[in-house]
Amino acid sequence: MARVRSKLAHDKVLRAALDLFGERGIDATSMDSIARASGVSKATIYNHWPDKEALLMEVMVMIHGLDRQAEDIDTGDIRRDLTTVLTRRPPDEFDAMRTRLMPSMIAYSAVHPEFGMAWRRRVMEPPRNSLIKILRRGMKQGQLPRLLDIEASVSLLLGPVLYTHIFQKERLSKAPDIGPKSAEAFWRAHSQARKVRIVKAGIKSAPAKK
Protein backbone atom coordinates (compact mmCIF):
# COMPACT_ATOMS: atom_id res chain seq x y z
CA MET A 1 0.00 0.00 0.00
CA ALA A 2 2.89 2.35 0.79
CA ARG A 3 4.23 1.91 -2.74
CA VAL A 4 0.81 2.82 -4.19
CA ARG A 5 0.66 6.00 -2.07
CA SER A 6 4.22 6.85 -3.08
CA LYS A 7 3.36 6.44 -6.78
CA LEU A 8 0.24 8.57 -6.38
CA ALA A 9 2.22 11.30 -4.63
CA HIS A 10 4.89 11.12 -7.33
CA ASP A 11 2.33 11.56 -10.11
CA LYS A 12 0.53 14.40 -8.29
CA VAL A 13 3.77 16.33 -7.95
CA LEU A 14 4.67 15.80 -11.62
CA ARG A 15 1.28 17.06 -12.80
CA ALA A 16 1.29 20.02 -10.41
CA ALA A 17 4.83 20.97 -11.45
CA LEU A 18 3.88 20.69 -15.13
CA ASP A 19 0.89 23.00 -14.67
CA LEU A 20 2.83 25.57 -12.65
CA PHE A 21 5.86 25.57 -14.95
CA GLY A 22 3.50 26.21 -17.85
CA GLU A 23 1.48 28.93 -16.09
CA ARG A 24 4.16 30.84 -14.17
CA GLY A 25 7.39 29.89 -15.87
CA ILE A 26 10.14 27.76 -14.42
CA ASP A 27 12.05 30.40 -12.44
CA ALA A 28 8.86 31.73 -10.86
CA THR A 29 7.78 28.28 -9.68
CA SER A 30 9.08 27.22 -6.27
CA MET A 31 9.09 23.85 -4.59
CA ASP A 32 6.79 25.37 -1.95
CA SER A 33 4.21 26.28 -4.59
CA ILE A 34 4.46 22.79 -6.11
CA ALA A 35 3.92 21.26 -2.67
CA ARG A 36 0.82 23.41 -2.10
CA ALA A 37 -0.63 22.71 -5.55
CA SER A 38 -0.03 18.97 -5.34
CA GLY A 39 -1.06 18.51 -1.71
CA VAL A 40 2.18 16.60 -1.14
CA SER A 41 4.56 17.67 1.61
CA LYS A 42 7.84 19.28 0.63
CA ALA A 43 9.70 16.61 2.60
CA THR A 44 8.06 13.91 0.48
CA ILE A 45 8.88 15.81 -2.71
CA TYR A 46 12.55 15.97 -1.72
CA ASN A 47 12.47 12.22 -1.12
CA HIS A 48 11.70 11.84 -4.84
CA TRP A 49 13.77 14.70 -6.31
CA PRO A 50 16.88 16.33 -4.83
CA ASP A 51 16.05 19.76 -6.30
CA LYS A 52 13.76 21.64 -8.69
CA GLU A 53 15.95 20.94 -11.72
CA ALA A 54 15.69 17.18 -11.16
CA LEU A 55 11.90 17.57 -11.00
CA LEU A 56 11.90 19.77 -14.11
CA MET A 57 13.98 17.19 -15.96
CA GLU A 58 11.49 14.43 -15.15
CA VAL A 59 8.57 16.65 -16.22
CA MET A 60 10.26 17.31 -19.57
CA VAL A 61 11.11 13.62 -19.99
CA MET A 62 7.45 12.74 -19.37
CA ILE A 63 5.90 15.21 -21.83
CA HIS A 64 8.38 14.26 -24.56
CA GLY A 65 7.78 10.52 -24.09
CA LEU A 66 11.41 9.87 -23.19
CA ASP A 67 10.35 7.72 -20.25
CA ARG A 68 8.94 5.09 -22.61
CA GLN A 69 10.72 1.79 -23.01
CA ALA A 70 13.26 2.03 -25.81
CA GLU A 71 12.53 -0.50 -28.54
CA ASP A 72 15.17 -2.26 -30.58
CA ILE A 73 14.10 -1.61 -34.16
CA ASP A 74 15.18 -4.39 -36.50
CA THR A 75 12.76 -5.15 -39.33
CA GLY A 76 15.50 -6.37 -41.65
CA ASP A 77 15.14 -3.18 -43.72
CA ILE A 78 17.76 -0.59 -42.74
CA ARG A 79 16.04 2.27 -44.55
CA ARG A 80 12.72 1.50 -42.88
CA ASP A 81 14.39 1.28 -39.47
CA LEU A 82 16.03 4.67 -39.95
CA THR A 83 12.68 6.14 -40.98
CA THR A 84 10.98 4.71 -37.88
CA VAL A 85 13.45 6.42 -35.56
CA LEU A 86 13.20 9.74 -37.41
CA THR A 87 9.38 9.77 -37.35
CA ARG A 88 8.85 8.99 -33.67
CA ARG A 89 6.53 11.49 -32.03
CA PRO A 90 6.07 12.48 -28.38
CA PRO A 91 2.69 11.75 -26.71
CA ASP A 92 -0.21 13.65 -28.28
CA GLU A 93 -1.77 14.30 -24.85
CA PHE A 94 1.02 16.76 -24.03
CA ASP A 95 1.07 18.66 -27.34
CA ALA A 96 -0.46 21.84 -25.92
CA MET A 97 1.67 21.79 -22.79
CA ARG A 98 4.90 21.29 -24.75
CA THR A 99 4.07 24.33 -26.88
CA ARG A 100 3.26 26.33 -23.77
CA LEU A 101 6.30 25.27 -21.77
CA MET A 102 9.07 25.35 -24.38
CA PRO A 103 9.63 29.16 -24.40
CA SER A 104 10.14 29.07 -20.64
CA MET A 105 12.35 26.01 -21.02
CA ILE A 106 14.54 27.69 -23.64
CA ALA A 107 14.92 30.81 -21.47
CA TYR A 108 15.74 28.72 -18.39
CA SER A 109 18.32 26.67 -20.30
CA ALA A 110 20.02 29.86 -21.49
CA VAL A 111 20.42 31.12 -17.93
CA HIS A 112 21.30 27.67 -16.54
CA PRO A 113 23.64 26.24 -19.23
CA GLU A 114 24.53 23.08 -17.30
CA PHE A 115 20.88 22.11 -17.13
CA GLY A 116 20.41 23.03 -20.79
CA MET A 117 23.30 20.79 -21.77
CA ALA A 118 21.96 17.91 -19.64
CA TRP A 119 18.52 18.32 -21.24
CA ARG A 120 19.90 18.34 -24.77
CA ARG A 121 21.85 15.17 -24.05
CA ARG A 122 18.73 13.54 -22.59
CA VAL A 123 16.64 14.44 -25.64
CA MET A 124 19.23 13.34 -28.17
CA GLU A 125 20.43 10.17 -26.45
CA PRO A 126 17.55 7.80 -27.38
CA PRO A 127 17.33 8.58 -31.12
CA ARG A 128 21.11 8.87 -31.40
CA ASN A 129 21.68 5.46 -29.80
CA SER A 130 18.98 3.88 -31.95
CA LEU A 131 20.45 5.32 -35.16
CA ILE A 132 23.96 4.17 -34.24
CA LYS A 133 22.74 0.60 -33.70
CA ILE A 134 20.93 0.59 -37.05
CA LEU A 135 23.90 2.09 -38.91
CA ARG A 136 26.31 -0.43 -37.41
CA ARG A 137 23.96 -3.24 -38.37
CA GLY A 138 23.82 -1.91 -41.92
CA MET A 139 27.61 -1.78 -42.06
CA LYS A 140 27.91 -5.32 -40.69
CA GLN A 141 25.42 -6.61 -43.25
CA GLY A 142 27.21 -4.87 -46.10
CA GLN A 143 24.28 -2.59 -46.87
CA LEU A 144 26.26 0.50 -45.85
CA PRO A 145 29.96 1.30 -46.42
CA ARG A 146 32.30 -0.49 -44.03
CA LEU A 147 34.15 2.75 -43.22
CA LEU A 148 31.01 4.87 -42.80
CA ASP A 149 31.52 7.82 -40.41
CA ILE A 150 28.95 7.07 -37.71
CA GLU A 151 28.94 10.48 -36.03
CA ALA A 152 28.66 12.37 -39.31
CA SER A 153 25.87 10.03 -40.42
CA VAL A 154 23.85 10.61 -37.26
CA SER A 155 24.22 14.38 -37.79
CA LEU A 156 23.09 14.07 -41.41
CA LEU A 157 20.04 12.06 -40.40
CA LEU A 158 18.95 14.13 -37.40
CA GLY A 159 19.92 17.55 -38.79
CA PRO A 160 16.89 18.06 -41.08
CA VAL A 161 14.50 16.85 -38.36
CA LEU A 162 15.94 19.22 -35.76
CA TYR A 163 16.03 22.14 -38.19
CA THR A 164 12.38 21.63 -39.12
CA HIS A 165 11.30 21.27 -35.50
CA ILE A 166 13.20 24.34 -34.27
CA PHE A 167 12.98 26.80 -37.17
CA GLN A 168 9.87 25.72 -39.05
CA LYS A 169 7.66 24.63 -36.17
CA GLU A 170 4.68 26.65 -37.43
CA ARG A 171 4.78 24.69 -40.71
CA LEU A 172 4.93 21.21 -39.16
CA SER A 173 1.18 20.65 -39.32
CA LYS A 174 1.07 21.58 -43.02
CA ALA A 175 4.33 20.11 -44.33
CA PRO A 176 4.92 16.38 -44.81
CA ASP A 177 7.08 14.66 -42.20
CA ILE A 178 10.73 15.34 -42.93
CA GLY A 179 11.86 12.08 -41.27
CA PRO A 180 11.22 9.77 -44.23
CA LYS A 181 12.85 12.27 -46.61
CA SER A 182 15.95 12.45 -44.43
CA ALA A 183 16.21 8.66 -44.28
CA GLU A 184 15.64 8.33 -48.03
CA ALA A 185 18.25 10.96 -48.90
CA PHE A 186 20.81 9.31 -46.64
CA TRP A 187 20.03 5.87 -48.05
CA ARG A 188 20.37 7.05 -51.64
CA ALA A 189 23.74 8.60 -50.86
CA HIS A 190 25.23 5.72 -48.86
CA SER A 191 23.46 2.46 -49.74
CA GLN A 192 26.00 -0.04 -51.02
CA ALA A 193 23.32 -2.15 -52.70
CA ARG A 194 22.16 0.84 -54.75
CA LYS A 195 25.72 1.69 -55.78
CA VAL A 196 26.26 -1.88 -56.97
CA ARG A 197 23.09 -1.68 -59.09
CA ILE A 198 24.21 1.61 -60.63
CA VAL A 199 27.64 0.22 -61.46
CA LYS A 200 26.14 -2.89 -63.03
CA ALA A 201 23.68 -0.81 -65.04
CA GLY A 202 26.55 1.37 -66.24
CA ILE A 203 28.54 -1.66 -67.36
CA LYS A 204 25.58 -3.05 -69.27
CA SER A 205 24.84 0.22 -71.03
CA ALA A 206 28.45 1.04 -71.90
CA PRO A 207 29.24 0.61 -75.62
CA ALA A 208 31.58 -2.23 -76.50
CA LYS A 209 35.14 -1.26 -77.31
CA LYS A 210 36.29 -1.87 -80.88
Q: Does domain 78-205 have CATH number 1.10.357?
A: yes
Same fold, 2-63 and 78-205: no
Q: Domain residue spans in the chain?
A: 2-63, 78-205
Residue type, 13: V
Question: What is the CATH number that goes with domain 2-63?
Answer: 1.10.10.60
pLDDT of residue 176: 66
pLDDT of residue 1: 45
Residues 6 or more apart in contact with residue 178 via CB below 8 angstroms: 86, 160, 161, 164
pLDDT of residue 199: 46
pLDDT of residue 173: 53
Contact, 78 vs 138, CB < 8 A? yes
Dihedral sign from CA coordinates of 129, 134, 140, 142: negative
Of the chain, the percentage scoring pLDDT greater than 70 comes to: 82
Higher pLDDT, 196 or 58: 58
